[in-house]
Every structure is written in structure tokens, then in C-alpha cells.
Amino acid sequence: MITIKKQEIVKLEDVLHLYQAVGWTNYTNQPQMLEKSLFHSLAIYLARDGEEIVGLVRLVGDGFSSVFVQDLIVLPTYQRQGIGSDLMKEALGDYKNAYQVQLATEQTEKTLGFYRSLGFETLSTYDCTGMIWMDRKKLQ
């Protein structure tokens, strides 16, 4: 039976296998960054099958005006069983009064369909766009 629980402290060694399983090398190649990210997260919810951690959702932000869904991971062998939806519903339920909840994700029909099923819409629906800052040299 899968259980979902908010965790106050999440250790790198307990969840690194999730990031490895889905090939998120930005984290796995920089485990110190992931460790700091886990510590500074707004909230982390873990999905467990018995004692085994099979999924997580990690939120960042202030919890009132802005919540950002940073990571949602379910082990590939556990995907398509509703675990990702359950993780999101648990997390979003705790922050349902936040002004805005956002995320960035791959632009595939599968992924967009999943998030739409949870009530997310693309920013263009509100005549907005998302941006990311990558050219850090512009400040020099």
C-alpha cells in the first residue's frame, strides 16, 4: 500500500535514487546542490511503498503568495498508478490558499494533460508568459 506523508527532514541518500531513476542529471551531477535544495524547500512529500520511497513532490516559495512545484518524481516502475496525482493533491491541499501555485515542465501532451487534470493551466491562458534567467554574464 502506498502512503503519502509530508516530511520535515529529507536526507539526500534517501531520495537520490529517485532523481537517478528518471535521469535528472542536473541534480545527480551536483548532489551538494540537491542536498541544499532539499534542506531549503518549503515542503517535501514522500510516497512510500512500505519503507521504500517511490516518489516525491518538492515545493519552494513563501507558501502564501507564491508556491512553486519544483520536483515531482515517481519511480518509473510505479508510474501510471495515481501516485503522482496523490502526491500533488496532498501538497496542493496544504497550500490551497496560496495566491498562486506554479510549475515549469516539459511541453508534451502527456505531461500537459497530467497537470491539466489537476487544474493547472498554461500561463498563456492568462495572457502571461514564463521566463528563465540564464545569461548571468549580463550582470558583469
Predicted pLDDT of residue 39? 97
Helices 12-21 & 31-39, crossing angle to 10 degrees?
120
Check the CA dihedral 50-53-59-63 and report its sign.
positive
Flag whether pLDDT at 140 surpasses 80: no
Flag whether pLDDT at 138 surpasses 80: no
Domain spans of the chain, in order of start? 2-139
Flag whether pLDDT at 137 surpasses 80: no
Q: Which CATH number fits domain 2-139: 3.90.1170.50, 3.90.76.10, 3.30.1450.10, 3.40.630.30?
A: 3.40.630.30
- R_g of the chain, CA atoms, integer Å: 15
87 phi/psi in degrees, rounded to 5: -60, -45
Nearest to 104 by CA among 135, 74, 60: 60
pTM of the model as a whole: 0.92
* 84-113 pLDDT, tens digit each: 999 999 999 999 999 999 999 999 999 999
